[in-house]
Amino acid sequence: MNTSTKAFDGSVEPENTREWVRHLAKYRDPKLFRSLLELAATAGPFLALWALAWWSMSISYWLTFAVALVNGIFVVRLFIIQHDCGHSSYFKNRTSGDWVGRVLGVFTVTPYDVWKRAHGIHHSTSGNLDRRELGDIDTITVDEYKALSRVGRFKYRFYRNPVVLFLIGPSYIFLLTNRLPMGMMKAGAKYWVSALGTNAAILALLSIIVYLGGWMPLLLIFLPSTIMGATIGVWLFYVQHQFEATYWDRDEDWDLHTAALHGSSHYVLPEPLQWLTGNIGIHHVHHIYARIPFYRLKEVLRDFPVLKDAQRLTIRESLSCVKLQLWDEKRRELLTFRRMKEIYG
């Protein structure tokens, strides 16, 4: 019997990964009140912590710095809402979602329309070895690495070094490369307007802050919270796709839905962290059906237990993912440099 005609109670996985799209379509509709509530529950604490950090400058700069670091997690949550706006999953009215996303892009220092296109490319090519494009962590195969020159190997090892990936890289991306429509320089005026318009809004906002409080709020509040948010965001994105049994295939064998389900992890976080990160750890469900609002992803796991157990990755297990650097096409797994050397010499 064809799977499309079978009753599906969520206890078993459909024979065809494309069937998930049909089963999850009922979760796609956003709820206006819930969307507004989540926005308020994120923007409110973000602004409150900004105010608390500003007030604390009269007591201790170290306290200010600490509060700003805590606020980094609400920068992440603002980004998650911006992310859902980019998928047209946060509001039924796409125009409203786009403008909310553009405003949030000022606070996440991310030009919305540029990011939206890059992220769309990521979703449409994730796991495709022949289409490693914008919006991904650079990953090469064992054979590609072995074919590199010494300089090429050094560059790749440098890029994949945890210090570069998780400490230097996030600041470089969000503070510097986001200032231009990187990868879309010739894609049209829309992306230049997005990047430069966001820059102008950020500059205006920071100018007001300097006028009211001098340079210290920028150094002690804006930069620490932004960099912390960027670092957390890059870490989350990394573990969502860079795990040992992830999915990569050449174009002729690559399948969008298989890549979505098997190439994205279920990052199991404690409930408070799951809320603070907008359920983005339920990433395999998000990739299967990106139009589901982040606050409805837990409904999917509740109704489909088989998805709750798929690609589970705990915090402890995620730490070992840092050492994974090369995709082995023969073994179909991510390897460390050391493991690659043990196997292939």
Q: Band of the pLDDT at 4, cuts 50, 70, 90?
A: very low
d(CA 49, CA 278): 19
| pLDDT, tens digit (0-9, with 9 covering 90-100), for 214-262 | 999 999 999 999 999 999 999 999 999 999 999 999 999 999 999 999 9
Cα angle: 334, vertex 337, 339; to 5 degrees: 70
pLDDT, position 17: 75
Strands 140-141 and 326-328, bridge-based pairing: parallel
Distances (CA, A) of 148 to 43, 130, 137, 140: 47, 18, 18, 11
Residue 10 in any domain: the answer is no
| pLDDT, tens digit (0-9, with 9 covering 90-100), for 70-127 | 999 999 999 999 999 999 999 999 999 999 999 999 999 999 999 999 999 999 999 9
Reading the block at residue 105, the tokens are 């892009």
User: 145, 131, 130, 135: which is closest to 335 by C-alpha?
Assistant: 145
- Does residue 146 surpass a pLDDT of 80? yes
Residues 6+ apart with CB under 8 A from 17: 255, 257, 258, 260, 261, 262, 288
| β-sheet bridge partners, residue 327 | 141, 334
Q: Band of the pLDDT at 2, cuts 50, 70, 90?
A: very low
Residue pair 14/23 in contact by the 8 Å Cβ criterion: yes
In the chain, which residue ranges form alpha helices assigned H by DSSP? 19-24, 32-56, 61-86, 94-107, 112-125, 142-147, 150-160, 162-163, 169-171, 189-213, 216-217, 223-241, 256-262, 271-276, 283-288, 297-303, 305-308, 315-320, 337-344
Task: Report the share of the chain in percent with pLDDT over 70.
Answer: 95
Residue 223 in any domain: the answer is yes
Query: For all residues of the chain together, what is the average pLDDT?
Result: 93
Residue pair 181/192 in contact by the 8 Å Cβ criterion: yes
Reading the block at residue 51, the tokens are 């105010």
Q: Count the Cβ atoms, other than its own, within 10 Å of residue 219.
A: 14
pLDDT, position 76: 98
Most trustworthy range by pLDDT among 131-140, 217-226, 302-311: 217-226
Residue 130 in any domain: the answer is yes
- Does residue 129 surpass a pLDDT of 60? yes
| pLDDT, tens digit (0-9, with 9 covering 90-100), for 159-200 | 999 999 999 999 999 999 999 999 899 999 999 999 999 999
pLDDT, position 135: 77
d(CA 295, CA 344): 45
d(CA 150, CA 256): 35
Residue pair 43/106 in contact by the 8 Å Cβ criterion: no
d(CA 96, CA 29): 15
- Does residue 11 surpass a pLDDT of 70? no
Domain that holds residue 63: 16-344
| pLDDT, tens digit (0-9, with 9 covering 90-100), for 46-80 | 999 999 999 999 999 999 999 999 999 999 999 99
Residue 209 in any domain: the answer is yes
> How many structural domains are present in the chain?
1
| pLDDT, tens digit (0-9, with 9 covering 90-100), for 258-298 | 999 999 999 999 999 999 999 999 999 999 999 999 999 99
Residue 98 in any domain: the answer is yes
Whole-structure pTM value: 0.92
pLDDT, position 14: 57
Exposed (0-12), middle (13-18) or buried (19+): which is 153, by Cβ within 10 Å? middle
Residue 11 in any domain: the answer is no
